[in-house]
Amino acid sequence: MENWLVVGGGGREYVLAQTLAKAPSRQVYVAPGNVMMNKIPRVQTVPIDEMAFDELAEFASQHHVQCTVVGPEQPLSAGIVDYFESKDLLIFGPSKQAAQLESSKTFAKQMMQQSGVPTANYREFTDLAVALSYVHLQEPPLVIKADGLAAGKGVIIANSSTEAMAAVEQLATNGSKKLLVEEYLQGEEFSLFAMVNGTTFVTMPVAQDHKRLADGDQGPNTGGMGAYSPVPHIDDKVKEAAVNDIIKPILNGMAEAGTPFNGFLYAGLIKTDSGIKVIEFNVRMGDPETQVVLPQLESDLGDLILQLKQGRQPQAQWQQGEFYLGTVVASRDYPRAVVNGRQLPTITDADVAVSYAGVIEDNQHIVSHGGRVLMVTTKAADLKTAQTRVNSVLGATVDQNDYTFRHDIGFHAIGE
């Protein structure tokens, strides 16, 4: 058996492990994983924290791990790739320096400017009083961002000066020492992922995430409440433009700056009247987009990664003709607060897949533990059918006194 290691424990890592384990000759370990991953054939969890680099590297060495794939942004930003490579261990992900594309929005903006990548105009602030004075005088809407990692919740769209000032104070109170204030970009958002080694890359099908908590894009920003892929109104021509205007220039710019990018590059993009622009870069797969993108892969994920690591140009095969749509089931109080220990919904419908995230075993019962608990995904010839199927399953199985979920995932495309 060929051993692989996935670092992380959420829904994204659930599907990464599941996808790698499709190869019958491959054993996939996940550290720390979650208890439900052990039900996936050829997947086994390992009780090592994602930030325990020395223990992870020792495990990879002792178990002759072919390659380690890192899911979350925190270990990447802290330098797990540098640590593994110092031990001559194969790992797929960016160096600590390259991971600043996500961990420092200032770094990302500077790289975009140097590389000629279009993005929103912005100002950065380290002084709270100066930031408050600035936003008070600007014409809303404005986008207020924390400079560092914020688990997908460090961005606030302010529709008035009062909201903008409150957003600045909120992010500063949460510990952000540097803030960015950006112009608000109007248009259609979408996510484009690439598997990268330097300037060699493979793109994936376009996806669209739903960040807001409630139907109709209402409520606070979350880590993501659902996604679908492909996106019918983001056609191949738009994708090609995004590759030529965004992906290639940023990868060339990173290489020229001496910080070549490796791993999963996540381009959060927006199609505006003046062209495609970058909202943000992330340095790992998205969650929940992974759950609707990777099931479309017909090639072997591990083989693609190894070919990239060997400096070759892989050719990936993706399914055609079906849409994948998934809805996240979150703790009722997410993202404001979370009550753990709730009974999980029992979902047995053969037409949907369930990927588990915030779960734990407690007194021989598997219960909720975290904000986003699981995601229900299906595929269909059209998005409306997929949405209806998922909603039917969730409506029949999920106690909405304990959990919350959106009913309108995919509405941007279904409404057209």
Lowest mean pLDDT among 27-31, 249-253, 283-287, 335-339: 335-339
CA-nearest of 251, 284, 396, 243 to 50 is 284
pLDDT digits (tens, 9 = 90+) for 134-159: 777 777 888 888 877 765 557 888 88
Query: Does pTM top 0.85 for this prediction?
Result: yes
Q: Average pLDDT for residues 205-230, to the nearest whole number?
A: 95
Model pLDDT, residue 151? 57
pLDDT tops 90 at residue 123:
no
Model pLDDT, residue 152? 53
Q: Average pLDDT for residues 312-330, to the nearest whole number?
A: 97
pLDDT category, 122, cuts 50, 70, 90?
confident
Model pLDDT, residue 316? 98
Compute the C-alpha angle 206/358/393, nearest 5°: 65
67 neighbors 302 (Cβ within 8 angstroms): yes
Q: Which residue has the higher pLDDT, 123 or 271?
A: 271
pLDDT tops 60 at residue 16:
yes
pLDDT tops 70 at residue 411:
yes
User: CB atoms < 10 A from the CB of 297, how many?
Assistant: 17
Model pLDDT, residue 131? 81
Percent of the chain with pLDDT over 70: 98
pLDDT digits (tens, 9 = 90+) for 351-368: 999 999 999 999 889 999
Model pLDDT, residue 390? 98
* Residues whose CB falls within 8 Å of the CB of residue 133, separated by 6 or more in sequence, listed in order: none
In this structure, which topology does domain 2-92 adopt according to CATH?
Answer: Rossmann fold (3.40.50)
Q: Which residue has the higher pLDDT, 94 or 337?
A: 94
pLDDT digits (tens, 9 = 90+) for 97-117: 999 999 988 899 899 999 999
Indicate where the chain has its CATH 3.40.50.20 domain(s). Answer: 2-92
pLDDT category, 124, cuts 50, 70, 90?
confident
pLDDT tops 70 at residue 262:
yes
As separate numbers, helices (DSSP H) first and strands (DSSP E) second, the chain gives: 14, 23
pLDDT tops 90 at residue 287:
yes
Q: Average pLDDT for residues 9-21, to the nearest whole number?
A: 98
In this structure, which topology does domain 186-309 adopt according to CATH?
Answer: D-amino Acid Aminotransferase; Chain A, domain 1 (3.30.470)
Indicate where the chain has its CATH 3.30.470.20 domain(s). Answer: 186-309
Model pLDDT, residue 175? 66
Give the 3-state secondary structure of residue 282: strand
pLDDT tops 70 at residue 290:
yes
Q: Average pLDDT for residues 367-392, to the nearest whole number?
A: 97
Q: Which letter, b or e, does each residue of 309-345 get, where b requires 16 or more Cβ atoms within 10 Å of its Cβ? A: eeeeebebeeeeeebbbbbbbbbbebbeebeeebebb
91 neighbors 5 (Cβ within 8 angstroms): no
Q: Average pLDDT for residues 53-77, to the nearest whole number?
A: 98
Model pLDDT, residue 150? 61
Indicate where the chain has its CATH 3.90.600.10 domain(s). Answer: 323-414
Model pLDDT, residue 416? 52
Q: Average pLDDT for residues 90-99, to the nearest whole number?
A: 98
CATH code for the domain defined by 121-183: 3.30.1490.20
Beta-strand relationship, 67-70 and 91-92: parallel
Model pLDDT, residue 143? 85
Q: What is the mean pLDDT of the chain?
A: 93
3-state helix, strand, coil in the chain (%, to 5): 30, 30, 40
CA 283 – CA 260 distance, rounded (Å): 12
Domain 323-414, CATH class in plain words: alpha beta
CA 275 – CA 231 distance, rounded (Å): 17
Q: Average pLDDT for residues 202-231, to the nearest whole number?
A: 95
CA 31 – CA 312 distance, rounded (Å): 28
Q: Which residue has the higher pLDDT, 35 or 130?
A: 35
Q: Average pLDDT for residues 27-41, to the nearest whole number?
A: 98
